[in-house]
A and B are shown apart, each in its own frame.
Chain A
Amino acid sequence: MPDDAVSGQPRELLVALLTTMTRIMVADQRIRDGIARGELLASYWPCAGQEAVAAGVGAALAPTDWMVTTYRGLHDQLAKGVPLEPILAEMAGRATGCCGGKGGTMHVTDPEHGLMLSTGIVGAGIPVAVGLALAARTRGEDRVVTVSFGDGAVNTGAFHEGVNLAAVWELPVVLVCQNNGYGEMTPIEHVQRVTRVSDRVAGYGIPGVTVDGNDPLAVHAAAAEAVARARAGGGPTLVECVTYRLWGHYFGDPMAYIPPEQLEAARANHPVTSFRARLVAAGVLDEAAADAVDAEAAAEVEGAWRGAMEAAAASPGSALTDVYAGA
């Protein structure tokens, strides 16, 4: 059966999506391995399973666009173009980390690549993204701001206040809800009455769509439409990407609350391997070319890992700087 979604797309986009997803998958795996082996002492919130969301959204953005994400942000950060080595160095508390080791896994910032905030407070990034969009528009800059958050964040006051403000001010914001089914240990159906998160924004008078978050083409199409609307002055959109968290809330989470068959099914249907197979089946890439994508990702991640781990630890004196300007 021909894959119409694939055949309708430029080859360049398809390969870019697969490349980004593969880099994310390999980097996430390397971090989990590194922690398991004791090479890296850090808390980590894996993004495995959510690669397609990040890649699809990232491909819809210009380098000058701004992004806000969360502690579970590696995939978003890579898809936005933040280089991996300073992210890893940041997790490891190295001086070469993109925040000099003061941010850690949860708080990665890289304004040079448009990553304006990764917050550890659920929901809190949404109003900040609204402010970024306000600044862009006030200064006459052509920027769209995306803000990623989980399904759990939709129940915070910050979400509702932020979405309403973005709506009434018609700001260029794209709200990306990465609905992975759980808020920490709590399944979504315990904490919201409606089935779709996107239904909840109807009350704010903005469009909301739900897409298969494991299909990068579906995510990309919805994100591209939302970004175009925002860029054209049409205001915010919520894009709900339904996906699944393959390694629990934090790395080491025993996942006692997850039905094993649910997890097994999700792992069997990994978004990266299935997209790779789709592209091969459609003849976009042959096996050798797909293997080359994997090999490149592996080499890049290993190089970044070595560079980050070999870098010097942040010096203790730096703990006392950057509290105030000029100090």
Chain B
Amino acid sequence: MADETELTMRSAVNLALAEALAADDAVILLGEDVADPAGGIVGATRGLSTRFGADRVRDTPISETAIAGAAIGAALGGLRPVAEIMIMDFIGICLDQIANHAAKLRYMSGGRTPVPITIRTAVFAGTGGGATHSQSLEAWLTHVPGLKVVVPSTPRDAKGLLTSCIFDDDPCVFVESVRLFGAKGPVPADAFSIPIGSAEVKRPGSDVTVVAHGPAVPDALAAAEQLAGEGVSAEVVDLRSLVPLDLETVLASAARTRRMVIAHAATTFAGPGAELAATVSHELFGQLAAPVERVGAPFVPIPASPALERSVLPGPGEIVAAVRRVTGW
């Protein structure tokens, strides 16, 4: 395409934030170390406080509850705050603010106090951080009515979805994966957004549907490439958001291929794929040629040793194996 640039997801997130700050005075950023020269521990906010000032890009104390709570209050007061919770494992510290306040203040007030906040948080799985710095906790958030949960897998999606989150009138949790932060991909040069709740077929196929989100998407694409060599045509559907969930796209694909594998980095047990597996099994009962398979992490904390971590985090190999199980039927 003509007007595209190659960006990393880090730069795409940075660009979305910069454009939002430039477009609307109501947008502010707050979080630990987000201001320059640090620019965020993952570098996503680099340069923004220099450009927009320390009032709009605010360093906070190490106070996750206060960060989330202040974002909520600022939203009640008419701003569109984007709060950074440095690492997703810390979300438990402010889960009260997110689940009891951000998610419910619109509802409890009968629609009188919406909370248009975005919480950006990063999953560090794959970096050897160990059990308290590697969790993929998106299922915690999808269980709370009132939140939107968005998980991009490409720089383009990160840019387009984050822009939508910031200007959405509901609280959105935007889950970034550090594993995906450095890889480059095409991003349209002009301002654009992607509607929240729209899954995308990242690779068409006819024999099996692989549904994934976040870092499992490139794994699924790698698996599909390998399977193509074996004569199996896998369709890869990227959910892009868990709430709202684009069931229409998933069901249409699975109804065509009659086989489905769900892949994610989170724990399989009670993980984000459980809801989808149940729904697809119910909706397509009798049409599926095989039971829905799930690929995720085993029910253990994430170990620190690189060798151990590799052994629990699923990759293309696990997805290929699951596809073989459903196509063997």
Given A131-B76, A132-B76, A132-B77, A109 contacting B108 (CB threshold 8 A): yes
* 143-178 of chain A: CB within 8 A of chain B: 145, 157-158, 161-162, 164-165, 168-169
For A161, list chain B residues within 8 Å (CB): 61, 63-66, 69
Candidates B66, B78, B101, B106; contact of A323 at CB < 8 Å: B106
Cβ contact within 8 Å between A325 and B73: no
State A138–B148 Cα separation when bound (angstroms).
Answer: 26
Q: Tell yes or no: B200 within 8 A of A by CB.
A: no
Cβ contact within 8 Å between B101 and A128: yes
State A321–B106 Cα separation when bound (angstroms).
Answer: 10
Given A127-B66, A130-B66, A157-B65, A101 contacting B110 (CB threshold 8 A): yes
State the main secondary structure of chain A at its contact with B: mixed
Closest beta carbon of chain A to B124's beta carbon, Å: 23
Candidates A98, A124, A139; contact of B101 at CB < 8 Å: A124
Q: Tell yes or no: A36 within 8 A of B by CB.
A: no
Beta-carbon contacts of B70-110 to A below 8 Å, as 1s and 0s? 11111111110100000000000100110011000111111
* 282-327 of chain A: CB within 8 A of chain B: 318, 321-326
Cβ contact within 8 Å between B108 and A103: yes
For B34, list chain A residues within 8 Å (CB): none
> Of all chain B residues, which has the CB nearest A314?
B110
Closest 3 CB pairs of A and B: A131-B73, A127-B69, A135-B77
Q: Tell yes or no: A223 within 8 A of B by CB.
A: no
Q: Tell yes or no: A224 within 8 A of B by CB.
A: no
Candidates A109, A128, A157, A168; contact of B73 at CB < 8 Å: A128
Closest beta carbon of chain A to B220's beta carbon, Å: 29
Cβ contact within 8 Å between A66 and B77: yes
Cβ contact within 8 Å between B76 and A158: no
Q: Could you list which residues of chain B lie within 8 angstroms of chain A, going by C-beta atoms? A: 26, 28, 55-56, 58, 60-61, 63-66, 68-79, 81, 93, 96-97, 100-101, 105-114, 145-146, 148, 168-170
Cβ contact within 8 Å between A135 and B79: yes
Given A100-B110, A103-B109, A324-B146, A164 contacting B63 (CB threshold 8 A): yes
Cβ contact within 8 Å between B77 and A162: no
State A203–B108 Cα separation when bound (angstroms).
Answer: 35
Q: Tell yes or no: A27 within 8 A of B by CB.
A: no
State A129–B111 Cα separation when bound (angstroms).
Answer: 19
Closest beta carbon of chain B to A253's beta carbon, Å: 24
Q: Tell yes or no: A23 within 8 A of B by CB.
A: no
Closest beta carbon of chain A to B225's beta carbon, Å: 37
Cβ contact within 8 Å between B113 and A165: no
Could you pull out 12 A-B pairs where Cβ atoms are within 8 angstroms? A68-B73, A99-B108, A121-B100, A127-B73, A131-B77, A134-B73, A134-B79, A135-B74, A135-B78, A318-B110, A322-B111, A324-B148
Cβ contact within 8 Å between A325 and B168: yes
State A281–B169 Cα separation when bound (angstroms).
Answer: 55
For B96, list chain A residues within 8 Å (CB): 121, 124, 158
Q: Tell yes or no: A136 within 8 A of B by CB.
A: yes
Cβ contact within 8 Å between A128 and B72: yes
Taking each of B64, B70, B97, which has the highest tally of chain A beta carbons within 10 Å of its own beta carbon?
A: B70
Taking each of A116, A134, A168, which has the highest tally of chain B beta carbons within 10 Å of its own beta carbon?
A: A134
Cβ contact within 8 Å between B106 and A322: yes
Cβ contact within 8 Å between A131 and B72: yes
For A326, list chain B residues within 8 Å (CB): 169
